[in-house]
Amino acid sequence: MSVTFDFSRFLKEKDQSRENDHLGSRIDAISMIGMRLSNENIDFVKSLTSEGMGESDRYSYIRKISQISGCEVFEFSTCNRVLFVGFGCTIDRLTNSVLQNSDLDSAPFDNFSGMEAWRHLVKICSGLDSFIIGELQVMGQFRDAISWHKESGLIGTHNATFLDHAVAANRGLRKELGFTKTPESMMSLGTSAIKEAITEDDEGAITVIGYGSMGRKAVEVLIDMGQKNIHVVTRSKKKSSERTPDLGDNINFISFEDWDGKENPSIVISTIRNTFPTFSQQNPLPVNDAAKIMDFSWPPSIDKAGLNNKRNLMDMEYWIRSAHKLGKDWEYEKTVDSGNQIIKSIEERFMKALNGRKQSRFRSHVYSTLESKSEEWENLECQESEASQMRAFSKEIATWICNRESSFSSYELENMVMNTDREINSSVLSEISIDVTGEMVRWLSNLDTLVGARA
């Protein structure tokens, strides 16, 4: 009696194992909402961003959304976007939870789910979706955010893997698009603006507000330009001077409490982190009306209401307009189209890898099982020259089984074994055929368990 074997489902269907479930079926249950900063949605982004929050406040903010939605949530805020990823969560539930947490009735979110969310994350990591294309800092910020969420216990390892795959895909995308040596775009725009302003008054004082990473970068740029009249407003003069002792002689540090604008700056560069504007109508910026003011902070650190001459403020809206022009200079549309094609290719490889994991485990099971069997075959009544071939023969049989694209009968298997070109006597071949057939019958009853256990 012939037995029919069909193992094609183990070679073709998606990986549904417990360990990799988050990369298979659970991808469909991933939702993402977010918005990229524009002139129309600035107020919404201000209400939703975690930029300017301390770690404790940020943790509480995300934790509350997670509690409301009942799922793990990943939040990512930068100077030009906010986004939220919910795992095992519908778009509606995630949206309502985020809105409720920020006391909003609605917001103009873009929304994505499943692999579409993954594709969009890859675009974000690469800067392909940014109003300033190719920002190197985005990938670093995203990677840091993943690490922080994991360390804070906000997302588990399984869900973090989905995000890690987006980072990995992004590396290939950036390499193919040539973004690996792209300058930091926001600072590039700012540097051009500073150079233009300095040309008009190259002896004037320049005041930098804040001395974090962005503030230090601004000071380095100014020193490289040969500027000597540099003032830094900071919360702690001592700590700030200790951060860059090699630059200390070129900088006059001033505390926020003592700053009164007496240095009479011609240029003010703000880089501070805050939740609400530090300078407003109630706390005006202490500078003259002629000073050019560049606000790189997000949320904004300077409210227009705190300025007499609002025309001299280069705020986020200004940088957005400048960035759009930069995008045209860089053939933005052409680059985006190329990026989308690359992402499609990366996605196909990603899904192939997901779908191939069960296939890999099935193949591994077949090869390892038959290799173990070959040790028993060596003890059958055969010559030494025959016994020495058993291990290689087991691999041939395993390869034949794994290459079947559809069902096959035990007769076909027997025919393959008995008609081998190897010099092995027919009685031994017959026993091998019976042994392999019996093994495969056992597989049919418990292979789901065996393959799943090897995840």
Secondary structure of the chain as H, E, C letters: CCCEECCHHHHHCCCCCCCCHHHCHHHHHEEEEEEECCCCCHHHHHHHCCCCCCHHHHHHHHHHHHHHHCCEEEEEEECCEEEEEEECCCHHHHHHHHHHHCCCCCCCCEEEEHHHHHHHHHHHHHCCCCCCCCCHHHHHHHHHHHHHHHHCCCCCHHHHHHHHHHHHHHHHHHHHHCHHHCCCHHHHHHHHHHHHHHHHCCCCEEEEECCCHHHHHHHHHHHHCCCCCEEEEECCHHHHHHHCCCCHHHEEEEECCCCCCCCCEEEEEECCCCCCCCECCCCCCCCCCCCEEEECCCCCCECHHHCCCHHHEECHHHHHHHHHHHHHHCCHHHHHHHHHHHHHHHHHHHHHHHHHHHHHHHHHHHHHHHHHHHHHHCCCCCCHHHHCCHHHHHHHHHHHHHCCCCCEEHHHHHHHHHCCCCCCCHHHHHHHHHHHHHHHHHHHHHHHHHHHHCC
Report, as an integer, the average pLDDT of 184-193. 68
Provide the residue ranges of all domains of the chain, joining segments of one domain with +.
Answer: 16-183+332-347, 185-328, 355-453
What whole-number percentage of the chain has pLDDT above 70?
Answer: 74
Q: Is the pLDDT of residue 105 over 50?
A: yes
pLDDT tens string 161-173: 788 877 777 766 6
Q: Please, which pLDDT band fits residue 417 given cuts at 50, 70 and 90?
A: very high
Q: What class does CATH assign to 16-183+332-347? A: alpha beta
Top-confidence range, 108-112, 126-130, 337-341:
108-112
Mean residue pLDDT across the chain: 79
Q: What is the mean pLDDT of residues 70-82?
A: 90
- This prediction has a pTM of 0.52
Taking 60 as the threshold, does the pLDDT of residue 69 lie above it? yes
Decide if pLDDT at 65 tops 90. Answer: yes
φ and ψ of 165, to 5 deg: -65, -35
The tens digit of pLDDT for each residue in 8-42 reads 655 554 444 444 444 556 677 899 999 987 768 88
- Residue 179's pLDDT is 55
pLDDT tens profile 201-227? 567 899 999 988 778 888 888 888 888
> Is the pLDDT confidence value at 137 over 80?
no
Matching CATH number, 185-328, of 3.30.1540.10, 3.30.930.10, 3.40.30.10, 3.40.50.720: 3.40.50.720
pLDDT of 112:
93
Give the separation between CA 139 and CA 280, rounded to whole angstroms.
Answer: 33
pLDDT tens-place string over residues 139-149: 778 888 999 99
Name the pLDDT band for 319 (thresholds 50, 70, 90). Answer: confident
| Of 125-129, 321-325, 387-391, highest mean pLDDT | 387-391
